[in-house]
Amino acid sequence: MWRRSLSSGSQASALHALKGKNWDALVIGGGHNGLTAAAYLARGGLSVAVLERRHVIGGAAVTEELIPGFKFSRCSYLQSLLRPSVIRELELARHGLKLLKRNPSSFTPCSDGRYLLLGPDNELNHSEISKFSKRDADAYSRYESQLERFCKLMDPLLDSPPPESLQGTSSFQDRFKNKVHISAFWTCLLHQAASLGQKDMVDFMDLLLSPASKVLNNWFETDVLKATLATDAVIGSTANVCTPGSGYVLLHHVMGETNGDRGIWSYVEGGMGSVSMAIGHAAKEAGAHIVTSAEVSQLVVEDSGKVNGVLLADGTRVHSSSILSNATPYKTFMEFVPKNVLSDDFTRSIKYSDYSSGTTKINLAVDKLPEFHCCKSIYPGSGPQHTGTIHIGSESMEEIDSACLDAVNGLPSRRPVIEMTIPSVLDKTISPPGKHVINLFIQYTPYKPLDGSWGDPSYRESFAQRCFTLIDEYAPGFSSSIIGYDMLTPPDLEREIGLTGGNIFHGAMGLDSIFLMRPVKGWSSYRTPLPGLYLCGSGAHPGGGVMGAPGRNAAQIVLQDFKKKLN
């Protein structure tokens, strides 16, 4: 279904159409950012082709029916960060995007029989947190309000390219325009910062630079509340809650929205692949040509140092003087670019960036909903405990820290930190009646464990059962409900999805790897040292998550450069 809907005719005819044309732009990778870039470029009047290695578009935002009747959001599993500008400008609702809000959005069961529900309902939050601490219940709304103010400060940074200085030779006019742009950017940002006031700005800097543990300890006293919130600060990373700068990752995960409601995460009807499908339809409607099973093996670089197209794995050569890579920076510059084309300094910066991952994703088909003993008598059957993210192994920040320490020592966590979601509770299109799809996002799992190998089926099964057994502690009988499962460890994420090191963000999101430092300092504006080559994926500003911002921003730069060529 996926290939038929987005490729033009048969695979042979699609490849023939690629060869017979000199494209204005080629996009390597049909992930959501690559598709977003293609949509904006095609709307800007360029001839664009998207080359996707796999048989299905979407990259990490993909829906796959791995078990008959069960459709899994195989990698990414929730939506909030997709930029409102992308949704609005590409008319994604018209192209089939339907968001399903979750209320409540978070459930943390406790081993002592208590539980914590959180969501967009302020009264519910106050009531639930009051079960643990009246002080924390009163502080929580102030905490959320402060984060919302910080997110508003960040919004303009997400929707525009960083104010990068021009590299290489350029005309006086271009240098002057660049200086004016940079001055205007910082003036605007300083004006916004001043509007916050000094106290909020100091708090904002504290959040950016501090460990999440310090931030949350300053706000709250309840262990389960702090641990529930702290998962946002470590999700997808190898850091723990005590890592300086993890406060920024916390902010990164709350800066999204659903249909105008700030910080609300939603399911996508049909799974996360529906995001990519909607963007793909918008791109195709604008004139973009999308081809699956078209693996790029190398960039074609002229003697002058400019790109002139790509070479596919089957030997097909496709011509274009503008290439946008949705692949990771490592894969782009270390694998696609021919050797000895880039400077040693740049290559070294890319090679030694942090692509480490502690993430494993397990997708399950089950024959019934888990029954959590802490609320079984209050909410028998389907209830609010099933709608949001279910936090397992996160009753205290010390538990999270201990799980991380295992991975630091080369071992998969003995008691993993698990985020469980059950999208089929709200989305009836992805599982048979009475049965459900469950996503487990698990930390921490080292890329190369010291006590075994992810290539060993028995080792993989042992870790999966460890996770299921942990869930059994909170929902007895969960293991017996499993019909089948699919498991993606860090090496699997690298091999299957193309995520270097298994890192879901295309590279770490530390303070040394964001904004003007992403992917490396001096090259944050989507251009690269190789003329005609651009980055448009999560390895570029503003980073990871299903945002669409890197693709949209990169397309703006390419269109600017294209206009210069015509003048």
CATH code where residue 45 lies: 3.50.50.60
Give yes or no: residues 127 and 242 share one domain. yes
Q: Parallel, antiparallel, or unpaired for β 289-291 and 266-268?
A: unpaired
| Same domain membership, residue 126 and residue 253 | yes
Mark whether 128 and 253 lie in a shared domain: yes
Does any domain span residue 377? no
- Report residue 57 as tokens: 């578009």
C-alpha distances (whole Å) from 135 to each of 110, 127, 139, 221 are: 20, 12, 6, 8
What's the total number of domains in the chain?
2
- Quick check: 537 and 27 in contact, CB under 8 A? no
Question: Is residue 471 one of the residues assigned to a domain?
Answer: no
Residue 277 shares a structural domain with residue 198: no
**How confident is the model at residue 4, as a pLDDT?**
32
Q: What is the DSSP letter of 211?
A: -
Is pTM beyond 0.75? Reply is yes
* CA–CA distances in Å: residue 74 to residues 163, 486, 560: 35, 8, 36
Range of the domain at 177: 121-258
Q: Is residue 512 part of a domain?
A: yes
Per-residue model confidence (pLDDT) at position 368? 96
| Distance (Å, whole) CA 49 – CA 35 | 10
- Is residue 547 situated within a structural domain? yes
Domain boundary among 258, 290, 313: 258
Q: Does a structural domain hold residue 100?
A: no
Reduced to 3 states (helix: H, G, I; strand: E, B; else coil), residue 135 is helix
| Judgement on whether residues 244 and 309 belong to the same structural domain of the protein | no
Which among 567, 566, 536 is positioned nearest to 161, based on CA atoms? Answer: 536
Q: Are residues 126 and 253 in the same domain?
A: yes
DSSP code at position 527:
B
Look at residue 378 in the predicted model and tell me its pLDDT.
85
Q: Is residue 381 part of a domain?
A: no
Looking at 225, 258, 291, which one is the last position of a domain? 258
Q: Please tell me whether residues 170 and 206 are part of one structural domain.
A: yes
128/169 same-domain check: yes
Cα gap 318→330, rounded to integer Å: 22
Amino acid, res. 8: S
Q: Report if residue 114 sits inside a domain.
A: no
Q: Consecutive sets of 10 residues in the chain, 567 residues long: mean pLDDT of each?
A: 40 75 96 98 98 97 97 96 96 97 95 95 96 97 92 89 84 86 89 88 91 95 96 90 87 80 89 98 97 96 93 95 97 96 96 96 98 88 93 94 96 97 97 97 97 97 98 97 98 97 95 94 96 97 96 97 86
Amino acid 1: pLDDT: 30
User: 248 and 286, same structural domain?
Assistant: no
**Residues 315 and 341 grouped into a single domain:** yes
CB count in 10 Å sphere of residue 96: 15
Residue ending a domain, among 258, 281, 310, is 258
Question: Do 293 and 252 share a domain, yes or no?
Answer: no
**β-strand 533-535 against 266-268: which pairing, if any?**
unpaired
Distance between CA atoms of residues 163 and 169, nearest Å: 18
Three-class SS of residue 423?
A: helix
Residue 379 lies in a domain: no
Task: Tell me, yes or no, whether 237 and 131 share the same domain.
Answer: yes
